[in-house]
C-alpha cells in the first residue's frame, strides 16, 4: 500500500493551471525559458529492483523559488521546506526535485528517464511562467509518521542501533538523529520489502 497517492501524469493534474499553449511556446521558442537544461550525472540499477533504474540529473540553475508554487498546484506533492525538496509519485516512480538537481528512483529504463526529465522541465518552466496566478504553499501537506516507519522496522528491540527500542529509532530517524544504515536487521533478506518501503518513504519526505 503506497503511503501517498501517485499521479498519472505530472502535467495533467487538474489543479495545474499551466496551459498547453504556454508549454508549446516554451518548447518551441526557448526564449525566456526559466530552466534551460537538465543533465543526467548518475544512472544505475535500483538496489531493491535491479530491473528498474535510478538516476540523478543536474539543473542548469537553482529552482528553489519554484518549489512552493509546484507544491501549491500538485496536491499529491510532498514539499520539505527544510530539505528544500519536493517529491512526486508517478505511478511507482519516485521523483524528487531538489534546488539544483533531480533524483529519480524506479524509472523503467533510459527512455523513461528522458521522458521524466522532459516532464519535469515542462513542469518547472510552466509553473514559473504562471507563478503570478499561483499562491505559493510553503507547508508540507502530509506529515511523516514515526509509527509508519516503526511498522516497517524489524521490531526486535535488539539495541544494535544504539536505541532502546525500534520505535525510538524510528522517531530519531525522522528527526535526523539516526540513519537507516544503523539498523543491521533491516538488511536481512526477509526484510527486503520493508527496507525498500523505508527508503522510498525517506526519499519522499526529503530525508
- Chain residues in the site for ligand SF4 (CB under 6 A): 153-154, 156-161, 163, 166, 169, 183-185
Find, among 116, 54, 75, 96, the residue nearest to 203 by Cα: 96
Task: Please state the closest distance from residue 150 (CB atom) to ligand SF4, in A.
Answer: 9
Identify the DSSP state of 173.
H
Residue 188 Cβ vs ligand SF4, minimum distance, rounded to whole Å: 9
Grid coordinates of 203: 526519499
> Least distance (Å) from ligand SF4 to the CB of residue 181?
10
Distance CA 173, CA 157 (A): 15
What is the SS3 string spanning 2-71?
Answer: CCCCCCCCHHHCCCCCCCHHHHHHHHHHCCCCCCCCEEEEEEEECCCCCCCEEEEEEECCCCHHHHHHHH
Give least dist CB 167 to ligand SF4, A: 9
Contact between residue 62 and residue 51 where contact means Cβ atoms under 8 Å apart: no
Measured between alpha carbons, how far is 151 from 172 in angstroms, rounded to an integer? Answer: 15
Nearer to ligand SF4, 9 or 159 (CB): 159
Between 36 and 193, name the residue whose CB sits nearer to ligand SF4.
193
Which of 130/157 has CB closer to ligand SF4? 157
Least distance to ligand SF4, CB of residue 164, Å: 8
Query: Considering the complex, what minimum distance in angstroms separates the CB of residue 182 from ligand SF4?
Result: 7
Q: How far is CA 137 from CA 47, 78, 175, in A?
A: 33, 11, 23
- The residue among 61 and 159 lying less far from ligand SF4, judged by its C-beta, is 159
For ligand SF4, the closer CB: 129 or 200 = 200
Judged on CB neighbours under 10 Å (0-12, 13-18, 19+), 139 is: exposed
Nearer to ligand SF4, 42 or 187 (CB): 187
Amino acid at each position: 500500500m503506497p503511503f501517498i497517492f501517485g499521479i498519472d501524469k505530472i502535467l495533467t493534474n487538474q489543479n495545474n493551471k499551466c496551459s498547453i499553449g504556454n508549454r508549446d511556446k516554451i518548447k518551441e521558442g526557448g526564449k525566456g525559458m526559466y530552466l534551460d537544461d537538465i543533465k543526467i550525472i548518475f544512472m544505475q540499477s535500483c538496489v531493491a529492483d535491479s530491473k528498474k533504474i535510478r538516476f540523478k540529473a543536474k539543473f542548469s540553475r537553482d529552482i528553489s523559488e519554484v518549489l512552493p508554487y509546484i507544491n501549491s498546484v500538485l496536491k499529491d506533492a510532498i514539499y520539505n521546506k527544510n530539505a528544500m525538496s519536493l517529491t512526486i509519485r508517478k505511478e511507482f516512480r519516485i521523483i524528487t526535485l531538489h534546488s539544483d538537481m533531480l533524483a529519480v528512483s524506479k524509472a523503467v529504463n533510459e527512455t523513461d528517464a528522458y521522458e521524466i526529465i522532459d516532464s519535469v522541465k515542462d513542469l518547472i518552466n510552466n509553473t514559473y511562467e504562471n507563478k503570478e496566478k499561483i499562491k505559493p504553499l510553503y507547508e508540507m501537506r502530509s506529515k511523516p509518521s514515526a509509527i509508519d516507519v516503526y511498522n516497517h522496522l524489524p521490531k526486535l528491540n535488539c539495541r544494535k542501533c544504539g536505541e532502546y527500542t525500534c520505535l525510538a529509532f524510528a522517531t530519531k530517524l525522522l528527526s535526523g538523529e539516526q540513519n537507516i544504515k544503523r539498523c543491521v536487521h533491516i538488511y536481512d533478506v526477509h526484510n527486503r520489502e520493508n527496507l525498500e518501503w523505508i527508503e522510498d518513504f525517506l526519499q519522499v519526505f526529503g530525508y
